[in-house]
Amino acid sequence: MASQSVLTPQDEDFPRWYQDVVAKAEMADNGPVRGTMVIRPYGYAIWERMQAEIDQRIKEAGAQNAYFPLFIPESYFHREAEHVEGFSPELAVVTHAGGEDLAEPIVVRPTSETVIGEFMAKWIQSYRDLPLLLNQWANVVRWELRPRLFLRSSEFLWQEGHTAHATYEDAAAYAMKIHLEVYNDFLEKVLAAPTYLGIKPPTERFAGAINTMTCEGMMRDGKALQMATSHELGQNFAKAFDIFYQNEDGQAALCHTTSWGASTRLVGGLIMLHGDDSGLVVPPRLAPIQVVVVAVRDEPEVNEACERIAQSLKGEGVRVQVDRGRGSFGRRLTDWEIKGVPLRVEVGPRDLAQGLVTLVRRDNAEKLPVALDAVGGEVARLLEAMQSAMFDDARQRRDGATVDVKSVAEAVEAAQTGFARLPWSQVGYKGENELNSQAITVRCLQRRDGSMPVTDTEDELDCIVAKSY
């Protein structure tokens, strides 16, 4: 009965802890082909919740869902020089199909700018067709040398938005809108993830973009994770794919395009951002199971009470599940803790005799005896309290591990345990190389007040540097 930890403690070996959580919370398994991932039902349920929240915001931002093919002619990639250069190393290419060698190899999409560009060119005739705002939910393939479940897999799931606009300003504004109203809003409100919003330095830009925006989150081990990005592609892809429109004056003009994405990497981010030594901790608004009603004993009155409580919570829109399975009570609690279910309602004969149940919060393990008729209200209150507490805690951890420094040397020191912030002018080409040689990268550029710059050439920019996933 002596409680021995089920997971490797974070302090002992963080990567090991991560793998333990993924396995024991039944989130995913390695697929048979190196780098591939089997997403198990619980992991997929979390992804579906992310999808639902992000999809809703994308639609509110005016984009429509569509679907483009998995297979892309290889020649498409050669039309944009930087794009092909950036992606060639990780392309999976089909050279043989239908029992024959293919005349032209087919690339399994690593991202869809090229095919979508081709069709944008076809669909856009007039300024009246603009802006064209598309999104697709899809799988993509990027051959990975060093895969990790959710964080880096050779195949992963994501959404990729692709838009075309008449002007640079309109495209830039839309990319920014997505960044703030879709990604940052989702990250803050649902994932309880505080991030640093900024733009990437030129070296870290998306292949073919003129500007890349990022939401950089800090994991519990102090490393950075890019949780979503939004790109201004300028006219690079418009040129490569002839995405023209006719303006009011009847002149042909090149479009300005954007693309933006968030992937199943977010699930990895969720684990490493909020997880603790007892396992995953899922923010209530994200959780596929928000409340688990646990029968302390498998007895009729207890089970009936569980069902009544669950039905009533369900009626109030709470995502709830009853656990009246056999097996030891302690074991079941541990299992729910590893899965990170935000709130537990423990229903036992002793409490029940007094008209009580016990509510337990996953984030701080606080136990609260609550009268049966007050459960609904308390659950709602605690879920909200936990949601904001998780964001506040994460922000405190992030701020506490972000150090202002004045030189690259100091930044290297600070990046061993967290983020370092320093004037971008102190870094430069040479400084960036020095950082990179220490496995540290410039995660983003920000204005002094923390807001997002428009370009990397603005004066007085800070940069945030860190080790990253």
Partner RNA sequence: CGGGGCGUAGCGCAGCUUGGUUAGCGCGCCUGCUUUGGGAGCAGGAGGUCCCGGGUUCGAAUCCCGGCGCCCCGACCA
Which residues contact RNA by CB under 7 A? 1-7, 15-16, 19, 24, 30, 34, 86, 89-90, 142, 144-148, 151-154, 156, 158, 204, 206, 226, 228-229, 261, 263-265, 278, 296-298, 326-331, 333-335, 337, 346, 348-352, 358, 360, 365, 436, 439, 441, 467-469
CB of 439 to RNA, least distance (A): 3
Cβ nearer to RNA, comparing 134 with 295: 295
Residues 269 and 146 sit within 8 Å (Cβ to Cβ): no
CB of 444 to RNA, least distance (A): 12
CB of 201 to RNA, least distance (A): 11
Which residues, at least 6 apart from 328, have a Cβ–Cβ distance to it below 8 Å? Answer: none
Given strand 71-73, what is the order of strands in its sheet? Answer: 71-73, 100-108, 92-97
Q: Do β-strands 291-295 and 343-347 pair in parallel, antiparallel, or remain unpaired? A: parallel
Closest CA to 276 of 27, 2, 5: 5
| Cα-only R_g, the chain | 25
Tokens representing 334 are 């541990």
The count of other CB atoms within 10 Å of the CB of residue 190 is: 20
CB of 431 to RNA, least distance (A): 15
CB of 348 to RNA, least distance (A): 2
Cβ nearer to RNA, comparing 3 with 251: 3
CA distance 380 to 358: 15
DSSP secondary structure letters along 128-196: GG-SEEEEEEEEEE---SS-BTTTB-SEEEEEEEEEEESSHHHHHHHHHHIIIIIIIHHHHHTS---EE
Cβ nearer to RNA, comparing 261 with 453: 261
First CA to last CA distance, the chain: 37
CB of 131 to RNA, least distance (A): 23
Cβ nearer to RNA, comparing 148 with 165: 148
| Residues 126, 131, 132: CA angle, nearest 5 degrees | 90
CA distance 465 to 435: 8
The count of other CB atoms within 10 Å of the CB of residue 59 is: 14
Cβ nearer to RNA, comparing 172 with 296: 296
User: Residue 184 burial (CB < 10 Å; 0-12/13-18/19+)?
Assistant: buried
Cβ nearer to RNA, comparing 174 with 469: 469
Cβ nearer to RNA, comparing 88 with 247: 88
Closest CA to 150 of 32, 27, 58, 261: 27
CB of 30 to RNA, least distance (A): 5
256 DSSP β-pair partners: 165
Closest CA to 87 of 116, 62, 112, 63: 112
H/E segment holding residue 436: helix 428-437
Cβ nearer to RNA, comparing 6 with 254: 6
CB contact burial 87-124 (16+ within 10 A = b; e otherwise): beeebeeeeeeeeeeeeeebbbbbbbbbbbbbbbbeeb
CB of 153 to RNA, least distance (A): 5
CB of 112 to RNA, least distance (A): 13
Cβ nearer to RNA, comparing 6 with 45: 6
Cβ nearer to RNA, comparing 321 with 334: 334
Cβ nearer to RNA, comparing 157 with 240: 157
Cβ nearer to RNA, comparing 33 with 103: 33
CB of 437 to RNA, least distance (A): 7
CB of 316 to RNA, least distance (A): 22
CA distance 368 to 354: 14
CB of 407 to RNA, least distance (A): 19
Q: Do β-strands 37-39 and 28-30 pair in parallel, antiparallel, or remain unpaired? A: antiparallel
